[in-house]
Structure 1
Amino acid sequence: MATRPEILAFPAALSEHVASIAQELAHGEQHKPHPLGPRVYVNGEELILPSRLYYRSELPASGGDPLDDTIRNCLGTRHHDGYLRERCVRALLHERSEWVIPFLFAMLGEYVVEIVLAIEAGLAPEVLPAWRHFAANNPQFLATTHRRAISYWSCYYRRRYPQLADYPALRLLQDALG
């Protein structure tokens, strides 16, 4: 059986756990390749986020295992359904595991401002130092996310936020820079 690309998005120590969950989420679907997205570094380990995932629209319940829930929600942030992405993001906002940060951070460079607003409203202030550490260790990802946020602001949100600095994704990126 080929390695599922979702495994690359998590630390190697979680690979068997992630493989099991990814297989379960894709149950009953033809396996189609998921485009690989950005490369990031967490604690010196390279992780590669999926660009988009095309699982069914609801994530099955985990049975109460918090680690399962966190992994499912991380994968859900890469789902093709924006409403599901938003639910998953909200579930991760107080998560302390450093490997969760890239999944939330990536949302700042996407086009659904409601998800960005949810992050801005719900992100626990005590996790900001970890976000700053992540941003400092991933300057290329930070720059790409910043460019994407500007592009989506220009394309979709310029009227709603006439000043670039007022766009929520850019406010959060500025916070991540410290």
Structure 2
Amino acid sequence: MKASDLQKNKNRTRRKIKEAFKPYLIASYVLCAFAFFYSVFNFRNVLINYSVPLLLAAVCGLVAIFFTEKKDNYFFAFMGYGSLFIGIPLFINNTFADFRNVEMKLSIKNRQHAQGRHRASVDIRYKDFDKEILVDDSADIDNSSYIILKMNKGLLGYYVIKSTRLVNE
């Protein structure tokens, strides 16, 4: 066999392998898209510091870039696998949360009234980080000094906020 024939066989084998993995690659990108949207909509309801999970997701996304062949797919690999790193633990924490409700009374640091499409929110201090909590009654926001959070403890130890209530004392 000639060297060119060997190269053609190698190229054929590579194409067959790529074609065999294509459905799995598409399925992983679909899973990454679901994880991205799940993270966006549910990350706010978990009492967790944002910096550590986002930093680890960025590292996971950078590692995924090294395994991506085309430069066109770098963005999707970075965002997809980074959000997959956040979405799966978040899903596990929320789905397997304890059924017992825990109420926590926290003092309000700052208040933001509803403006345009943004809902009213309050800033609280929990452990060593600040968290913005969305509230329903923007009329009662100025009169209240505390917020009562009704939560369930998730499987991974992070509290999942179920409901909020503003109180004076």
Q: Same fold (TM over 0.5)?
A: no
TM-score (normalised: structure 1): 0.24
Q: Is the radius of gyration larger for structure 1 or structure 2? A: 2
More helix by share: 1
More strand by share: 2
